[in-house]
Amino acid sequence: MNSDLSILKLILDAGFVVKIVLAILIAASVASWAIIFGKRAVLGRTRRESEAFEAAFWSGGDLGGLYRNVEARQDGGTGMEAIFKFGFREFSRLRQQPGIDPAQLMEGARRSMRVAQLREIDRLEAHLATLATIGSTSPYVGLFGTVWGIMGAFHGLGSVQQATLQMVAPGISEALVATAIGLFAAIPAVVAYNRFSDQVNRIELRFDTFVEELSTILQRHASAARHG
């Protein structure tokens, strides 16, 4: 019960192959946490910016003025702002063409909004596949290291006359560290992937709703311009 179970000591005493496995798992864990913190910041900023833009959009102000404000931003607008910017820009461009049909006008505006929406969703989903890969493969990589370490521990018993648990226990303990590190890398990645995927789906639904709302408003503008 007083034996040294230091994780660092077990890692240092592990075999060469097991050390390589542990290095891969530690690197995967570091990459996973970097993605988690980065994605959390991106999704949080997108939600806050969407809420602020919706408040400005439904405040009753001029859409042209709102468009100029978004265009003046250094990043050109992201998230819902980008969808509005590209949709309103295409709507304004097509409206300048003489004799254009309102249906064609709306089709062009909606197509621009959908393209912008796909780009934004692709931006929000960036690196989620990496989290899924780390979460699904890390336990198996750790298991490989464990199996290899246990094989080495038992192989070393072939040269002794009498095998005891005391002789094989250290090797098995060192090998089991690979499984523990594999789970340490996999569990946060899986939890974060599921959470972020749900958040992206919610944001995408919010974007879908905004596209329909903006299309309705632009449809009224198109009809008013035609009858005016």
C-alpha dist (Å) from residue 66 to 84, 194, 197, 212, 217: 9, 35, 30, 18, 14
48 domain residue, yes or no: yes
Residue labelled with tokens 């499984």: 179
pLDDT recorded at residue 40: 96
Residue range of the domain that includes 18: 7-227
176 domain residue, yes or no: yes
76 domain residue, yes or no: yes
Residue labelled with tokens 């690196």: 127
212 domain residue, yes or no: yes
Name the token pair of 28: 């995967």
Number of compact structural domains in the chain: 1
2 domain residue, yes or no: no
Asked if residue 139 lies in contact with residue 186, where contact means CB atoms within 8 angstroms, the answer is yes
d(CA 144, CA 175): 9
69 domain residue, yes or no: yes
For 108-162, what is the HEC assignment?
HHHHHHHHHHHHHHHHHHCCHHHHHHHHHHHHHHHHHHHHHHHHHHHHHHHHCCC
- The per-residue pLDDT for range 14-37, each reduced to its tens digit, is 678 888 998 999 999 999 999 999
pTM of the model: 0.83
1 domain residue, yes or no: no
In a structure prediction context, what are the per-residue pLDDT tens digits for the chain, which is 228 residues long?
A: 334 456 667 666 667 888 899 899 999 999 999 999 999 999 999 999 999 999 989 987 788 888 988 888 877 778 899 999 999 999 999 888 887 788 888 999 999 999 999 999 999 999 999 999 999 999 999 999 888 888 776 766 666 556 555 666 666 777 788 888 999 999 999 999 999 999 999 999 999 999 999 999 988 877 765 555
